[in-house]
């Protein structure tokens, strides 16, 4: 597992642990599920049903986490730039980007 895979794993692992730990014993934490994304996660924002991952060169990824043991990607948006963060406000996801060129 390279450092990028670890970043994605760490962000989604934290998200899934938080989803499963609401009201539970915080010392009894266990892995519920995971999902790999095309690039590496820079930021995650979540609702009760969905997680939105700023996935660097992979764009914004929308993930259904209603079943924490089986997260599923339900959509994505790729603008051609690097997605560096994500913030949710009402029904919108705001994604700061960095333009990049070869």
Q: Is pLDDT of 49 > 90?
A: yes
Tokens representing residue 70 in the block: 């089986």
Residue 29 pLDDT class (50, 70, 90 cuts):
confident
Q: Which domain holds residue 52?
A: 3-98
- The tokens of 34 are what? 């995971």
Beta strands at 50-54 and 97-98: parallel, antiparallel or unpaired: unpaired
Tens-digit pLDDT profile for residues 56-91: 999 999 999 999 899 999 999 999 999 999 999 999
Between 92 and 26, name the one with better pLDDT: 92
pTM value?
A: 0.73
Residues 11-33: what's their mean pLDDT? 62
Domain count, the chain: 1
């Amino acid at each position: 597992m390279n450092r990028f895979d670890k970043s994605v794993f760490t962000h989604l692992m934290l998200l899934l642990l938080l989803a499963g730990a609401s009201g539970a014993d915080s010392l009894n934490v266990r892995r519920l599920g995971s999902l790999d994304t095309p690039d590496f996660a820079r930021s995650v924002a979540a609702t009760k049903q969905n997680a939105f991952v700023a996935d660097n060169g992979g764009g914004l990824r929308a993930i259904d986490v209603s079943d924490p043991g089986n997260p599923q990607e339900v959509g994505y948006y790729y603008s051609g730039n690097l997605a560096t963060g994500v913030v949710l406000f009402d029904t919108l996801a705001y994604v700061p980007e960095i333009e990049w060129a070869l």
